[in-house]
């Protein structure tokens, strides 16, 4: 944005000004004739008032006379999908510089009674009518119904005897109708994978994306699409993030913008381990929780939604693209690179799955907060995420055991040998069967040694593993050793975190 | 955002596509899929058709990244042009085949194509106009601020706010002006 008072970068009459800018400063009202004006055989056209702005419920006091075609009411679709949005809308309505009564904020609801005309803008019938120049400069605002009632009246009176302004007024009013160009249907997220697969079928990639990065790439794109058409209010919508802290469900209140900031700074751990810039800087805290708290503390606006609401989306998305780009170039070895999460570490291939899962979980939180549907991931990706959970379970179980939160092992099993096993059965397109070694992370799971089964559908698994339901209330079919079942349910919930 | 993509981004993207980088293709899709789909949908008024055009356009760009000439305009504008062309091609191709009830009269067909072209040009104008003008229009149109409020929000004088609104609409109104060539150039409507 150019600053206040800088040199004017745009030539006023550079575009499409067919009415001849030269000398119009000397045209007074009523003198709107000139050799360069289009001819109007039947006299100047009667210009109806402009169409109203998007979402206009008739709250502008501009529409004065009757007999005006009613503005086309915008559909709900349009009101959500502006296509373009204000980047600079301040959090609060900026106060008017002067004591102009007609510039007071308009309350929603019925139009306010017209205020007294300001001294600076006399009515057209007054002794000092607005100059042609000023009226002409108002045409854009008039077409957008963005001027005061008195100005609107003055412009419309002027149009009746100024053909050049009348011509421009018609043209600008028609242009307003073109503003909502980018309607957006919700694109089917599966279209993305179909289109990309189709492209790669036509011309194979010379630098492919590692398979294990595909889930993150797709989930980040899905969440980004959800964010795409969000207005300012939705960015500030409250979201409660929930997780299971090892003993009980807990949560934190933030906003949609705060959630994206959280995703960004935790993705930053992966970025830093790939040598990309860490959004939290050099001395960033290690754990996702500490990073997020630090970010929300440093940028309180991010948690509570001040500032340009969508800005964090770009930071998050750009970083996400950089992650995928970087691992695509990094070669095979990078897959096993450790990503330190503070109190644990994951090889980068699993960190990408973990970040994909987080995207999905928080997209679900956001969708719930703004009351919008959100589908589960593509089945292959979902399966990979559940597989990650299943692989993490034995370690989490052992940790909980050490902390006294799970029952001690029933028997000691030598590393690599079969031990007691729990059968985890997830139903759904991304589901499958997993066998969890119970006695030690080093033990080999053995279907024949299964002492218990937990069967649940993928939605219930999602709710459990994301810490959105208490483990004892997971909607699961359970059979076998109750202690093993309890320990695994709690360990699954304990995979969740902020 | 996509709107402010600098030419540098366009050139870089072209190089990455030429290099065969799958991650670049994914980024390209993320940036332009909704534009492509929306433009195609406006011509075809049909989801399946718009999906198909989306596949064809991205397939073409992925296979022919060198066909884009950054000197001729932005990548976004080029992709919009490809989309418009391909969607019109699909619309025309679909007409003789569907001899049933939903065949458009040729006038209606041309009218739909014309409206879609105007909308495509308007999209191009809105997304490529200088950011200060766009911001003023957004405040007035989408946020329903009057020009005084818009001036305060933008930190400019009221004169300047009025000027930006008028100039922005003047720019936008040129979308109604048909390009100088009323006759389609050779190859117009050719399949991708």
- Average pLDDT value over all residues in chain A: 78
Last residue of a domain, which of A375, A395, A426? Answer: A375
- How many distinct structural domains can be found in chain A? 3
* B115 or A359, greater pLDDT: A359
B3, B139, B174 ranked by CB distance to A16: nearest:
B174
Residue of A3, A4, A15, A231 to mutate, testing the B interface (most B Cβ within 10 Å of its Cβ): A15
Is B129 an interface residue toward A (CB < 8 Å)? no
Distance, CA of A240 to CA of A224 (rounded, Å)? 19
Shared domain for A356 and A391, answered yes or no, is: no
Half-sphere exposure of B47 (CA within 13 A, CB side): 6
Q: Give a yes or no: residue A192 inside a domain.
A: no
Q: Name the minimum distance, in Å, from the CA of B13 to any CA of chain A.
A: 12
Backbone angles phi, psi at A437, to 5 degrees: -70, 130
Is B147 an interface residue toward A (CB < 8 Å)? yes
Is B126 an interface residue toward A (CB < 8 Å)? yes
Nearest-CA residue of chain A relative to B156?
Answer: A4
Shared domain for A281 and A230, answered yes or no, is: yes
A171, A176, A204 ranked by CB distance to B141: nearest:
A176
Shared domain for A288 and A221, answered yes or no, is: yes
* DSSP-assigned letter for residue A444: B
Collect all residues of chain A within an 8 Å Cβ-Cβ radius of residue B5: none
In this predicted structure, the answer to whether residue B123 has a pLDDT above a threshold of 90 is no
Contact A176 B165 (CB under 8 A): no
pLDDT at A177: 83
Collect all residues of chain A within an 8 Å Cβ-Cβ radius of residue B127: 84
Q: CATH number of the domain at A294, please.
A: 1.20.120.450
> For residue B76, what are its two tokens?
């976004």
Q: Give a yes or no: residue A67 inside a domain.
A: no
Per residue, the 3-state secondary structure of chain B, as one string, reads CHHHCCHHHHHHHHHHHHCCEHHHHHHHHHHHHHHHHHHHHHHHCCHHHHHHHHHHHHHHHHHCHHHCCHHHCCHHHHHHHHHHHHHHHHHHHHHHHCCCCCCCCHHHHHHHHHHHHHHHHHHHHHHHCCHHHHHHHHHHHHCCCCHHHHHHHHCCCHHHHHHHHHHHHHHHHHHHCCCCCCCCCCCCCCCC
- Among A323, A361, A30, A370, smallest CA distance to A166 is for A30
Q: Name the minimum distance, in Å, from the CA of B113 to any CA of chain A.
A: 15
Shared domain for A329 and A418, answered yes or no, is: no
Query: With bands split at pLDDT 50, 70 and 90, how would you rate the model's confidence at A168?
Result: very high
Shared domain for A367 and A428, answered yes or no, is: no
Which residue segment(s) compose the domain that A327 sits in? 209-375
Last residue of a domain, which of A179, A194, A219? Answer: A179
B33, B141, B149 ranked by CB distance to A103: nearest:
B149
Is B172 an interface residue toward A (CB < 8 Å)? yes
**Within its chain, how far is the Cα of A439 from the centroid?**
43
* Termini Cα distance of chain A: 37
In this predicted structure, the answer to whether residue A69 has a pLDDT above a threshold of 50 is no
> For residue B121, what are its two tokens?
């040009």
Whole-Å CA distances, A332 to A24, A329, A339, B7? 70, 9, 16, 33
In this predicted structure, the answer to whether residue A234 has a pLDDT above a threshold of 70 is yes
Distance, CA of B25 to CA of A328 (rounded, Å)? 12
The predicted model gives A439-462 an average pLDDT of 93
Each residue of B100-122: pLDDT tens digit? Answer: 555 678 888 888 888 888 887 88
Backbone angles phi, psi at B85, to 5 degrees: -60, -45
Contact B22 A90 (CB under 8 A): no
The predicted model gives A181-205 an average pLDDT of 84
Residue of A18, A80, A86 to mutate, testing the B interface (most B Cβ within 10 Å of its Cβ): A86
Q: Give a yes or no: residue A146 inside a domain.
A: yes
Q: Give a yes or no: residue A199 inside a domain.
A: no
Kindly report the CATH number that applies to the domain delimited by B2-104.
1.10.1740.10
Pure H helices in A69-181: 76-80, 132-137, 139-143, 149-159, 163-176
CB atoms within 10 A of CB A41: 4
Query: What sign has the CA pseudo-torsion B94, B95, B96, B97?
Result: positive
Shared domain for A266 and A414, answered yes or no, is: no
Distance, CA of A339 to CA of A346 (rounded, Å)? 5
Task: Tell me the residues of chain B between 17 and 36 that have a Cβ less than 8 Å away from chain A.
Answer: 19-27, 29-30, 33-35
Backbone angles phi, psi at A432, to 5 degrees: 160, -170
Provide CB contacts within 8 A for B176, sequence distance 6+. A171, A174, A175, B118
Q: Name the minimum distance, in Å, from the CA of B175 to any CA of chain A.
A: 8
Shared domain for A350 and A234, answered yes or no, is: yes
């Amino acid at each position: 944005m150019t600053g206040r008072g800088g040199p004017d970068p745009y030539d006023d009459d550079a575009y499409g000004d067919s009415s001849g800018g030269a000398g119009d400063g000397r045209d007074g009202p009523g003198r709107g004739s000139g050799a360069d004006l289009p001819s109007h055989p039947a006299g100047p056209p009667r210009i109806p008032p402009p169409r109203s702005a998007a979402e206009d419920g008739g709250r502008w006091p501009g529409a004065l006379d009757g007999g005006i075609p009613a503005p086309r009411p915008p559909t709900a679709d349009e009101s959500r999908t502006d296509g373009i949005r204000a980047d600079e809308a301040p959090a609060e309505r900026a106060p008017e510089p002067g004591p102009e009564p007609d510039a007071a904020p308009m309350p929603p609801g019925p139009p306010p009674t017209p205020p007294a005309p300001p001294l600076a803008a006399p009515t057209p019938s007054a002794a000092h009518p607005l100059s042609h120049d000023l009226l002409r400069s108002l045409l854009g605002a008039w077409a957008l119904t963005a001027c005061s009632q008195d100005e609107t009246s003055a412009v419309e009176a002027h149009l009746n005897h100024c053909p050049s302004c009348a011509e421009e007024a018609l043209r600008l009013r028609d242009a307003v109708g073109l503003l909502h160009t980018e309607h957006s249907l919700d694109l089917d997220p599966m279209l993305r994978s179909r289109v990309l697969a189709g492209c790669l079928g036509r011309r194979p990639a010379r630098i492919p994306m590692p398979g294990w990065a595909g889930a993150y790439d797709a989930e980040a794109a899905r969440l980004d699409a959800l964010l795409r058409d969000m207005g300012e209010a939705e960015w500030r919508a409250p979201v409660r993030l929930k997780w299971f802290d090892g003993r009980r469900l807990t949560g934190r209140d933030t906003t949609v913008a705060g959630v994206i900031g959280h995703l960004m700074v935790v993705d930053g751990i992966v970025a830093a381990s790939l040598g990309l810039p860490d959004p939290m800087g050099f001395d960033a805290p290690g754990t996702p929780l500490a990073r997020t708290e630090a970010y929300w503390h440093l940028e309180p606006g991010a948690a509570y939604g001040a500032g340009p609401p969508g800005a964090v989306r770009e930071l998050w998305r750009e970083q996400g693209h950089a992650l995928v780009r970087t691992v695509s170039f990094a070669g095979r070895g990078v897959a096993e690179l450790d990503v330190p999460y503070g109190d644990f570490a994951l090889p980068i291939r699993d960190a990408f799955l973990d970040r994909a899962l987080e995207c999905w979980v928080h997209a679900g939180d956001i969708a719930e907060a703004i009351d919008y549907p959100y589908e589960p991931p593509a089945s292959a990706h979902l399966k990979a995420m559940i597989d990650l959970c299943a692989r993490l379970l034995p370690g989490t179980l052992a940790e909980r055991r050490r902390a006294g939160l799970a029952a001690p092992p029933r028997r000691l099993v030598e590393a690599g040998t079969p031990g007691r096993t729990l059968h985890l059965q997830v139903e759904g397109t991304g589901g499958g069967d997993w066998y969890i070694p119970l006695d030690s992370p080093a033990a080999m799971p053995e279907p024949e040694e299964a002492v218990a089964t937990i069967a649940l559908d993928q939605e219930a698994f999602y709710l459990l593993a994301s810490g959105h339901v208490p483990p004892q209330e997971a909607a699961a079919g359970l059979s076998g050793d109750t202690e093993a079942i309890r320990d695994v349910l709690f360990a699954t919930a304990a995979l969740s975190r902020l | 955002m996509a709107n402010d993509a600098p030419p540098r981004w366009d050139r870089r993207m072209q190089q990455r596509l030429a290099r065969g980088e799958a991650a670049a293709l994914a980024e390209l899709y993320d940036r332009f899929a909704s534009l492509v789909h929306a433009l195609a949908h406006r011509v075809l008024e049909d989801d399946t058709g718009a999906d198909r055009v989306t596949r064809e356009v991205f397939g073409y760009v992925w296979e022919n990244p060198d066909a884009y000439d950054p000197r001729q305009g932005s990548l976004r504008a080029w992709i919009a042009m490809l989309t418009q062309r391909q969607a019109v091609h699909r619309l025309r191709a679909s007409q003789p085949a569907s001899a049933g009830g939903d065949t458009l009269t040729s006038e209606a067909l041309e009218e739909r194509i014309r409206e879609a072209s105007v909308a495509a040009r308007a999209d191009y104008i809105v997304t490529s106009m200088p950011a200060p003008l766009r911001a003023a229009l957004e405040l007035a149109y989408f946020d329903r601020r009057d020009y005084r409020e818009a001036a305060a929000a933008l930190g400019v004088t009221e004169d300047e706010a009025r000027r930006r609104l008028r100039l922005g609409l003047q720019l936008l109104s040129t979308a109604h002006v048909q390009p100088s060539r009323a006759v389609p150039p050779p190859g117009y409507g050719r399949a991708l």
